[in-house]
Amino acid sequence: MTEKLLKHISAISLLCLSLSLFFISIGSCEEITPSSPLREFSLKEAIDVAFMSNKDIQIQEEAIGIAKADIVEAKSEFWPKLSAKYGYTYNGYAFNLGSLAAGSKKDPGIFTGYQNDNQASISVSENVFNGGADIAMLKEARLGLKVQQETLRARKLDVAFETKRLFYGLLLAYETERITENLFRQAQAHYDDVKSKFAQGISSKFDVLQSSVQVSKVMPELVRARNAIQLIKVEFKKLLGVDMFEDISIKGHLAFTPSEIKEPDYLKEAYKANPQIILKLLGIDISKWQIEYAKSGYYPQVEAGFGYNYRSNNLNTIFDYRHTNWSAGVTVGLSIFDGMSTKAKVDAAKAKYSQSHIEKENVTDQVVVYIKNACLDMKEAEEIVKSQKDAIVEATEALKIAEIGYDNGVTTNLDVLDMQVSLSQVEKNLAEGIYDYLVSRAQLDRVMGRESYSENN
């Protein structure tokens, strides 16, 4: 009876193991062609590739080109405008005094017109004063370029953080797989040992069944651990713009070097370099110049112009001296009443200026929250890592004692199984603690506007 039971248990265990390996192979498979080269990324290489392939960064780089063009357009208001014109008109009747003034240096027809009227002109105009609108437009355009450049930096900081998060997440997934595989091997080895003892009559049937169930319980965890690697790889490849059917790997391991947490220094650095704060400060400056632009409606508009005209009834003689004339003048215009339009624009610009100050204060407060949260998360993760490092040594020793005790009949089978799970859980806690620390520090770098990084940063 005992021998028959053992055969059944062995068959069930073998079946479960086979099914497990089958599902594991399904969960970890990728449609990769045999000739696909394995691409390996370090953290720095991954961030560089993400920068090159990220569509948001590419769009923002084009926005910088637009902002530079806006500056050129704003500068054009300070330059004189030169234009040339030609026109032809046929008049049904034109009064001509040319016959009465044949000895004149100028052809009187140029003043009265021709039936075949050819006119050409070159003119220059200059905006002498427009209430400071041109200056305000140029200042806004230059600030607009800084806004786009800072927005690009913010995009890169976001992409760098996301790359770090997935990079560390993949390292965590590999570590979780390793820990789960160790637990699976320990459970399987212990099950084989218990079966052997049962065959020798020094172990109970309950211990055999209990050990077999433990192996079966670990199998789904191993499947999920391997499947998690593939899921993170998919996200990682999408971020890097890598073909989904191309296999990749990463360089490095899940480790960190704790550093002193200096929250006041982090806040000072964030106030100077956080892109959102800088964007709000630029927004305040832009709003200030928008007020000046709106106020230009209160001031007179002064323009100066000069023109040189050619007019003749014959194209062959249009550029003769007798067919030329010139003009120069200054125009001054002042809006007496515009239906309160200028006042409304000024009031709106002032309201936006006040709004931009409030928005800046709101972003600054939020940055303080982000810094504090990141520092607290780093402290928590550091404490977890320290405690779990010590616990691993203790759990490893406890597992050895439990195994020796079980061999000598001092401890129970359940004690061995519990210590195997406990050791595995402590190792997972350590890995997750390191991951949380690294991600929190990456978040801190993003909030502070740090563009530098290291393999463990």
* 80 secondary structure, DSSP code: P
In the numeric block, which tokens belong to residue 352? 């936006």
Running DSSP on this structure, what letter comes out for residue 454?
-
Which of 4-8, 192-196, 429-433 shows the lowest per-residue confidence on average (mean pLDDT)? Answer: 4-8
Range of lowest pLDDT (10-19, 72-81, 217-226)? 10-19
Own/partner long-range contacts of 322-328 (Cβ < 8 Å, ≥24 apart) = 322/105, 322/106, 322/107, 322/110, 323/107, 323/110, 325/106, 325/110, 328/304
Average pLDDT rounded to a whole number, residues 273-278: 95
The confidence score (pLDDT) of residue 25 equals 43
* The two domains 2-79+132-299+338-448 and 80-129+301-333 share their CATH topology (first three levels equal): no
Residue 198 and residue 9: Cα distance in Å, rounded? 12
Average pLDDT, integer, range 48-57: 92
**Can you give the pLDDT at residue 247?**
87
pLDDT value of position 9: 45
Asked which of 26-35, 126-135, 165-174 is least confident by mean pLDDT, the reply is 26-35
Mean pLDDT computed over 348-369:
95
Question: What's the pLDDT score for residue 107?
Answer: 59
Report which of residues 110 and 430 the model is more confident about: 430
Q: Would you state the structure tokens that stand for residue 284, as one six-digit string?
A: 């305040």
CA-based torsion, 374, 380, 384, 386: positive or negative:
positive
For 2-79+132-299+338-448, which CATH superfamily applies? Outer membrane efflux proteins (OEP) (1.20.1600.10)
The dotted CATH code for 80-129+301-333 is 2.20.200.10
Look at residue 10 in the predicted model and tell me its pLDDT.
Answer: 47
The pLDDT assigned to 237 comes to 93
pLDDT at 11 over 60: no
Q: What is the 3-state secondary structure (H, E, C) of 125-157?
A: EEEEECCCHHHHHHHHHHHHHHHHHHHHHHHHH
Each residue's pLDDT tens digit, 70-88: 999 999 999 999 999 999 9
Query: What tokens does 119 get?
Result: 């006119």
Domain spans of the chain, in order of start = 2-79+132-299+338-448, 80-129+301-333
Rounded to whole angstroms, the Cα distance separating 437 from 255 reads 10
Q: Detail the DSSP E strand segments found in 264-314.
A: 301-312
Contact 332, 302 (CB under 8 A): yes
Task: Give me the pLDDT at residue 36, please.
Answer: 55
R_g of the chain, CA atoms, integer Å:
40
Q: What are phi and psi of 294, to 5 degrees?
A: -65, -35
